[in-house]
A = this chain, B = another copy of it.
């Protein structure tokens, strides 16, 4: 699995880099960004644990890299950041003129329908192919946490709930918590998975939480001035489902904050410290 360096920039003593590779799962070339700290006190063979960050609608790997301000604390704590793109890309990849379907809107599912199913397999890409690639090519360990924003918060929750053995902890900013019952989700899941809604439940955090046998540490931050809160995000659905089955989740409402990266930047430190407690436990820069 060869990867090609696109850019490399020093940031907080570490390296913020972008790579390009041919994804077998997505059947197209993909870009991802990665931040690897360079802790001065690291022993030579120590490897950094990784926080995977899944971005929201219309985003690429650039948004979080440039706007969240995560590198400062990731460098200090010794946590690598891996930031994938939000969908397959390219002239040969199916697309839709709307911002909430097709390229930039992969919703972290494995599509079963035409014209999407050839390339739109972001679930498998994030769960399997990307970590394998990252762990084979960088000084990182197999200790993983996962987080994301909006559509990417949905992706992080779904992937962690279905694969608890692969992650130490999961968090999300303003996630789409109940996509089977909101306009963004109904549109995307209908297109990618078809009209039969049974299969949709595999991609709905509010359903999956009730099926979970293992409980991961789970943190959600939500702004109460978020313009998508009521119609699209529905954190109360997840909270009710979690309470019903006894899955402990930490859902924090923040007065006055909206859906933007200014909200993420304001609380990324809290999320990084939350994950650090589990990523680094008994494994300081493991």
Chain A residues proximal to chain B, CB less than 8 Å: 9-13, 16, 66-67, 69, 71-72, 223, 225, 256-258, 260-263, 265-266, 269
Contacts and interface: CB of A to CB of B under 8 A. Distances in A.
Nearest to A65: B262
A41 to B, nearest CB: 18
B69 A262 contact: no
Contact of A12 (B71, B261, B266): B266
Contacts of A72: 69, 265-266, 269
Contacts of A261: 66
Contacts of A66: 66-67, 261
A252 to B, nearest CB: 15
A256 B180 CA distance: 48
A241 to B, nearest CB: 29
Contacts of A265: 11-12, 69, 71-72
A9 B260 contact: yes
B262 A11 contact: yes
Contacts of A12: 265-266
A66 B265 CA distance: 9
A10 B225 contact: yes
A255 to B, nearest CB: 8
A120 to B, nearest CB: 29
A269 B72 CA distance: 10
Nearest to A16: B262
A175 B69 CA distance: 23
Contacts of A269: 72
Contacts of A225: 10
A253 to B, nearest CB: 13
Counting from the closest, the 9 A-B pairs by CB-CB distance are A69-B69, A11-B262, A10-B256, A9-B262, A10-B257, A12-B266, A66-B67, A9-B260, A16-B262
Contact of A258 (B10, B69, B257, B262): B10
